[in-house]
Structure 1
Amino acid sequence: MGRVPNWTKEEIDYLQDQWGVTSIKGISTRLGKSINAVKLKAQRMGLSDPRMNFDGITVCQLGKALGREYTIVKNWINRYGMPARKKLFAQSARVWVISYADFWKWAEEHKELLNLAKMEPGTIGPEPEWAKIKRKADQLRSQKTWQSIDWTPAEDQRLAQILKTEITYPDLARMFNRSEASIKRRIHDLNLKMRPVRLNNRIKYTPDEVQTLLRMAQEGYCYETIGQTLGKSALGVRGKLERMGFDFKRRRLREVAK
């Protein structure tokens, strides 16, 4: 049996430096060693899965980090232009990957697609400051325990009775543990004639209030939280943002064509 050639220090350094950067097949070709020899040496050196050593993340790993299905995240590539690419890690299998820097640059333009509430900091590489702020907003939003179950006949009857009193949308939302939008839809579905007392959302926003509104909307806070901060209803907050030309997907004001 032939003697297996020893690995030189230069070859070991190259293997360690390129692990996860260059495919195993590429390393094998560069060093003139078999693929099995490269894998075995990497294992003995304690090198982890090459996908975990890449300065970025696979789309599959990204989905798990964000708590989203792989098909949903992969759809972001074609539908929203997420700059992922295919990379060869092993002999022939290519997987979708994206660098940390490219992901966060893209994510800043598509904040509405992300929910960082349950994602630990650093899971997707070094985070920009805006991501830390959005995590707090998402965590606050996730604390809202609005019901998504069907309305019961008892709730419908109670809603109809309460509407005969002077009560606002925010008060109803808190009383039924639902969003203001849900309350509004239910009133419409039941064809109820009475309506809640609307907060005076027509009072002009002060310049400071407009700045607070835009900042909180850009940071990802829900309309109820913004409304509580400004003393407005959530419906009024959303309406104001719509009139200002706010882009709800990118979380910023739309650019006006010149």
Structure 2
Amino acid sequence: MKKKYWTGEEIQFIRENIGVLKVPTIAKKLNRTETAVLLKLKRLGLANTKAYAGNLTMHQLANLLKVDAKTVKLWIENHGLLCKRRVTRSTRKFYFISQEEFWCWASINKEKIDFSKIERQTIVPEPEWVEKARANNKQNKNKYKSWTTNEVKFMLHLLSTGSNFEYIGKQLDRTSTSVARKYDRVKYQ
């Protein structure tokens, strides 16, 4: 059997279609075996076919947002986050989300995301409004944080010394309203 060498056109076809077409489709169009195409992808450094789809996978987006992948899947299924489901290698389908579509969706669904967890410019292009949302999330970080026993004891100690709710809130990194409400709940226990 005569060895069939790869032509420049074939290699260019692979580079242009990796992540767009399935490996079996590429093999069929080039009249090659799947194994030959997979080996060539490996030699060209293109073995990770998902990386060449041009979008983020559901799991990549979840990692960047520091949330569970199931959360992103729920956004896709129940909250209108647009995605494309595609096969990039053989048979397994992946959810791909474009960065632009994510930011468009995020601008409408700001309450679902903690922007303070997202490092700057990790999902580019990052819109200008994200910095303000990031700052707001940092301010609200303790919004639903449970009170520890030590925090309650410290609050009661400061109240016994004559401190006001605003001062205590600053000491505990909480709002004065949160301190007042906690005091009311503790007082009537």
TM-score (norm 2): 0.81
Change (3 A) 1:147 1:76: closer
Structure 2 equivalent of residue 64 of structure 1: 63
When the two chains are superposed, the root-mean-square deviation of aligned CA atoms in Å is 2.9
Q: Shift of residue 179 of structure 1? A: 3.2
Unaligned 5+ runs, structure 1: 193-258
Identity percentage of aligned residues: 26
Runs (5+) with no aligned partner, structure 2: none
> Which letter maps to 1:126?
P
**Aligned twin of 1:80:** 79
Q: 2:149 aligns with which of 144, 148, 151?
A: 151
Mean Cα displacement is larger for which, 172-181 or 38-47? 172-181
In the alignment, does 2:167 pair up with 1:171?
yes
Query: Aligned to 2:115, what secondary structure does the other structure show?
Result: coil
Q: Give the length in aligned residue pairs.
A: 187
In the alignment, which residue of structure 2 is the partner of 1:52?
51
1:147 CA displacement: 6.6
Q: How does 1:55-204 map onto structure 2 within 5 Å?
A: 55-138=54-137, 148-152=146-150, 154-155=153-154, 157-158=156-157, 161=160, 167=164, 169-191=165-187
CA distance in 2, matches of 1:140, 1:8: 58
Q: Choose between structure 1 and 2: higher helix proportion.
A: 2
Residue by residue over 1:183-221, the C-alpha shift from the partner in whole angstroms, topping out at 9 and shown as x without a partner, is: 1431231246xxxxxxxxxxxxxxxxxxxxxxxxxxxxx
When residues 122 and 31 of structure 1 are mapped into structure 2, their CA distance, relative to the original with a 3 A threshold, is: farther
| Residues 55 and 96, structure 2, Cα contact 8 Å, conserved in 1 | yes
Counterpart Cα distance in 2 of 1:97 and 1:58: 5
Contact 2:87 2:93 in 1 (8 A): yes
- How has the CA–CA distance of structure 1 residues 184 and 80 changed in structure 2, closer, same or farther, with 3 Å as cutoff? farther
Deviations 1:53-76 (A, max 9, x none): 221101011111111111112111
SS, match of residue 190 in structure 1: helix
8 Å CA contact 2:19–2:89 kept in 1: the answer is no
Could you tell me how far apart the structure 1 residues matched to 2:47 and 2:117 are?
Answer: 26
Output the amino acid matched with 1:95: F
> Which 10-residue stretch deviates more, 50-59 or 148-157?
148-157
- Residues 140/36 of structure 1: CA separation in 2 closer, same or farther (3 Å cut): farther
User: Is the contact between residue 147 and residue 178 of structure 1 (CA under 8 Å) also seen in structure 2?
Assistant: no
